[in-house]
Amino acid sequence: MQIKKLKWKTDFEKSVIIENFVNRGWIKSQEKEEDSTDWNVYWATVWNVRNIFNPKNGMRLNDQQIINHFPNHYELTRKDCMVKNLKRFKREQDKEIYEQQGWNFDFLPTTYVFPGEYSLFVEEFHRCPNQTWIVKPAARSQGKGIFLLRKIQQLKKISGTTVTSNMTQLNLASKENYVVSKYIDNPLLIGGKKFDLRMYVLVTNYKPLKVWIYNKGFGRFCNEQYTTDVAEIENMFVHLTNVAIQQYSDKYSQKHGGKYSIDALKFYVESAYGTESFQKMMDDIHNIILTSLKSVQAVIQNDKHCFEMYGYDILLDANLKPWLIEINASPSLTTTTPVDKNLKLNLINDVYNIVLPNDDFPDNEQKQQQINKVGGFSVLYDESQDLINRKAQKRQSVKIWK
């Protein structure tokens, strides 16, 4: 059923969202209340999504409504939940079969969730006395509350925390959980500076899983030269790539915003290490994306009204090995340069070209149509087709053996 003019609503005053809606000729919903249902398209905060799907509210979305988060998206995008789900998923898998399929779990640095795994962390800390660790609040973003750790006593930086003299107990008065990971101290450097990759991934369905990957991510660079010198351990302009932090550096460039395109990074890696090395690196990144999504497939509440555009943060070490840093449910849509704005405008446009083809809500038959590329997005994984292919192979096998 086609609606002539879709109504839109957003909790974000971001130009790349609003301009996309206006350019499509959609009409802004005039209802201001958070529980308003007078909309077809809603780009919402994670908090309002949680409210919408709260059973106590009795709110039900209709067939002409779509929203940008799954109800319990945090299973993958809260740092502590991501770690717990990946660890659980790894325990559940048959290692031999999984590796035969070309997948692996060796992309998450050794990580502990506080306060529950504090004693395990202490044991590992004693085994690796010269190791640097990175401490992150589980539910904060933009680099807030992050610090590097070389001594247990530094945990006092966590608000309300006391550490016993024998290090066997951690009294965490703060209500926050924290994740503590081995710090990757040999990052790939370009121009002597550390960087990570921001990659965009769109999930339109979890059961069966359908994953799209965007071809126009970027590298986020630190402004200071990288060093492992302990004297610089608190210099976040050396260690954290978050633009929200780097923009306050005296060396921050308004011209490029510390961001370089994936195409430029591809050219560098292929020139320095060869095409095969770049392809191996990308295959490993795809493994990270698919394994992480598979780890929450059983627990995410799949809903036909929802999609999710994730921002994956990937760090490359000096051996071109990618490491998963975190997964963002609301990757920043703030724009710092004209190039950045153009990328994000096209990104959001392509998202809606996929989830609302021709500005219409697709029926089941349309959803099953096999389109593998839309704008900058390409299908990375389609479980429905995977199942069809397996059934076809099984039938073929039966035929052969007859």
User: Alpha carbon of 343 to those of 16, 255, 295, 339: distances in Å?
Assistant: 9, 15, 29, 6
How many Å apart are CA 230 and CA 132, to the nearest integer? 9
Is residue 386 predicted with pLDDT exceeding 50? yes
At 200, which amino acid appears?
Answer: Y
Q: Which pLDDT value is given to residue 256?
A: 86
Q: Which pLDDT value is given to residue 16?
A: 95
Residue linked to tokens 């219409």: 360
DSSP conformation letters of 197-217: EEEEEEEEEETTEEEEEES--
Asked which of 67-76, 100-109, 355-364, 385-394 is least confident by mean pLDDT, the reply is 385-394
Per residue in 185-211, is it b (16+ CB within 10 Å) or e — as a string? eebbebeebbbbbbbbbbbbbbeebbb
Is residue 96 predicted with pLDDT exceeding 50? yes
pTM for the model stands at 0.90
Mean pLDDT of the chain: 88
Q: Which pLDDT value is given to residue 154?
A: 86
Q: Which pLDDT value is given to residue 71?
A: 94
Q: Which pLDDT value is given to residue 371?
A: 85
Provide mean pLDDT across the span 95-121.
85
* % of residues, the chain, pLDDT over 90: 65
Asked which of 22-36, 303-317, 325-339, 368-382 is least confident by mean pLDDT, the reply is 22-36
Quickly state the pLDDT bin for 97 (edges 50, 70, 90): confident
Q: Which pLDDT value is given to residue 298?
A: 95
Quickly state the pLDDT bin for 98 (edges 50, 70, 90): confident
Is residue 327 predicted with pLDDT exceeding 60? yes
Q: Is 256 in contact with 227 (CB distance < 8 Å)?
A: no
Q: Express each pLDDT in 235-248 by its tens digit.
A: 999 999 988 898 88
Q: Which pLDDT value is given to residue 93?
A: 85
Provide mean pLDDT across the span 306-328.
97
Q: Which pLDDT value is given to residue 399?
A: 40
How many Å apart are CA 143 and CA 287, to the nearest integer? 25
Is residue 365 predicted with pLDDT exceeding 80? no
Q: In this predicted model, which residue has the larger pLDDT, 99 or 145? A: 145
Is residue 402 predicted with pLDDT exceeding 90? no
Q: Which pLDDT value is given to residue 102?
A: 65
Provide mean pLDDT across the span 224-230.
94
Is residue 163 predicted with pLDDT exceeding 80? no
DSSP conformation letters of 266-307: HHHHHHHH-HHHHHHHHHHHHHHHHHHHHHHHTTS---TTB-
- Collapsing DSSP states into helix, strand and coil, what is residue 317? strand
Q: How many CB atoms sit inside 10 A of residue 78's CB?
A: 21
